Amino acid sequence: MSDKKEEFLELFRQNVTRRGADKLLEWLESTDFFTAPASTRFHAAYEGGLLEHSLNVYHVMMDKHYDPETDNLESCTICTLLHDLCKAGFYDVEYRNRKNDAGVWEKVPVYVVNDRFPYGHGEKSVFLIERFMKLKNEEAVAIRWHMGGFDDSARAGSFAIANAYERYPLAVKLHLSDLEATYLHENRSE
């Protein structure tokens, strides 16, 4: 087992005691969550990138935004570690031709999206989590809107995101943690 997977499981088991959490972990083991990339080419686009990204979001949240006086550790752990659960079973590998440094064409593996359950991004993560354990309203809203202005609904002009951020500080904290992890702590390649 990789060190990152071990860290994920330890954090999850230590901080999440909700009924159904063990079943969710069992299901995660049956998916590619621990080996999948976080994206096709934008950030952590390599094997294990999704796991690494999830841990990065957790660490940014704990280091910069978590307040033990007002925040719930279990909620923050669930939101950070599972916000991109929708990406389990989301990517396939294809081969494309590309010139190498010597100018010779060669086949190289690339990740491509193969969304077998097109249900949206944040909402799909909420749906998948709730198959196993109940989320609190603030957790569901935070995960649903963690993409901020990159979410298709927000780009289309929905004002629901503003209402979500106004009502639920956890949603803002998750979005900020996700942004920082993505743009300041992760690369486009290994």
Domain that holds residue 9: 3-184
Which 3 state secondary structure label does DSSP give 95?
A: strand
Helices marked H in 34-99 — which ranges?
Answer: 49-60, 73-82
Query: Does the residue 152 lie in any domain?
Result: yes
Q: Is residue 190 part of a domain?
A: no
Separation between Cα atoms, residue 65 and residue 146, nearest integer Å = 14
**Residue 135: DSSP 8-state:** P
pLDDT at res. 190: 52
From first to last of the 190 residues of the chain, give the pLDDT tens digit.
799 999 999 999 999 999 999 999 999 999 999 999 999 988 999 999 999 999 999 999 999 999 999 999 999 999 999 999 999 999 999 999 999 999 999 999 999 999 999 998 999 999 999 999 999 999 999 999 998 877 777 767 777 888 999 999 999 999 999 999 999 999 765 5
Domain assignment present for residue 189? The answer is no
Amino acid found at 50: L
Q: Specify the number of domains making up the chain.
A: 1
